[in-house]
Amino acid sequence: MSATPFDQQNLPTGDGHTLFVAQYGQADAPAAVVLHGGPGSGTQPSVLEWFDLARQRVVLFDQRGAGQSQPQGDILNNDSAKLVADIEMIRERLRIERWMVVGGSWGATLALLYAAQHASRIRAMVLRGSFLASQRELNWFFQSLRAMVPHAWEQLTQGWHDEQKQQVLATLGKQLLRGSEQEAEDAATRWGAYEEAIMQAMSGKLTLPSAPSKASARAIGKYRLQAHYLMNACFTGEADLLGAAQALAETPTVIVHGSHDLVCPPENAARLAKLMPHARLHWVPRGGHTPADPLIAAALREAVMELHPSP
């Protein structure tokens, strides 16, 4: 079936943001909403491949400041509580009683935060490559991963003094949130190249980094949003997220995590599974972080079909 939306809207939030929302599949079918990663990455039409659009209704939207939502990269009135309220606003506006919630990485974080307030509206849940918004994970990504991608980390921190190298996120965040346009572009370029090197390493391609291309305006907006959220502990905490998971004892859930995920450590899935004994934990051998990984994509398709109601 052609991935053409049967409905597309720009929904105002009432406090300065407008959300891009698109619906695919069948309007009268059981609904699912996909929460994209980032923060700030925006939704990708490729996620529709996880669904059977002949039997499902799929809602995609760009979170505040991301993708086609406006204003792009704006951090004003942009925090986790606002995003949770946006998800519920979209559900109400689209007159959906209950839906499957599918979230990956930061989207899994957001799914748990949404569940903490609106569990009765969730029919089922798929969590992929879960991020638990902990300092442990930030230290791993920005500091400890230098052991896995040493050349990329050296490129990331090139020209910095020792104190800056010891606080990579703080250094990047300062440039993106309070620096000049040139400093913000430089930080986004460095961050993007480092992220790409990690993705390559997960696919088994550990190559020497080349000179990165300058970040686009959209990439600068994306990393500005990420810096805003990560430097504020995502306006939540690991304890809150684990508490939300523990409260979902009656919600059918599949947890998908790649054994080779270098972005969100596999121990995150183990922590969630311990608190959600009813959930099915689907380890993906040799799987990475991105849903573009064919192994992860296959696991997501399986999970979505497993949780789709029988005809």
Tell me the two tokens of residue 221.
Answer: 């907006």
Asked if the peptide bond before residue 39 counts as cis, ω within 30 degrees of 0, the response is yes
Q: How many domains does the chain have?
A: 2
Confirm whether 1 is domain-assigned.
Answer: no
Which one of 203, 233, 263 terminates a domain?
233
Confirm whether 45 is domain-assigned.
Answer: yes
> Which residue matches tokens 């270098």?
262
> Can you give the residue range of the structural domain that contains 214?
135-233
Does residue 248 surpass a pLDDT of 90? no
Confirm whether 2 is domain-assigned.
Answer: no
Q: Identify whether 261 is a catalytic site residue.
A: yes
> Under DSSP, is residue 52 helix (H, G, I), strand (E, B) or coil?
coil
| Predicted confidence band of residue 34 (pLDDT cuts 50, 70, 90) | very high
Q: Identify whether 216 is a catalytic site residue.
A: no
Q: Identify whether 289 is a catalytic site residue.
A: yes
Which one of 170, 199, 233 terminates a domain?
233
Same domain, yes or no: 42 and 144 = no
Catalytic one of 41, 69, 80, 105:
105
pLDDT of residue 210: 65
pLDDT of residue 153: 95
Same domain, yes or no: 128 and 172 = no
Catalytic one of 257, 282, 289, 308:
289
Confirm whether 43 is domain-assigned.
Answer: yes
Which one of 186, 215, 233 terminates a domain?
233
Catalytic one of 62, 86, 261, 293:
261
pLDDT digits (tens, 9 = 90+) for 105-162: 999 999 999 999 999 999 999 999 999 999 999 999 999 999 999 999 999 999 999 9
Q: CA-CA distance, 61 to 174, in Å (whole number)?
A: 29
- Counting every residue written for the chain, the total comes to 311
Phi, psi torsion values for 206, nearest 5 degrees: -90, 95
Is 42 in contact with 70 (CB distance < 8 Å)? no
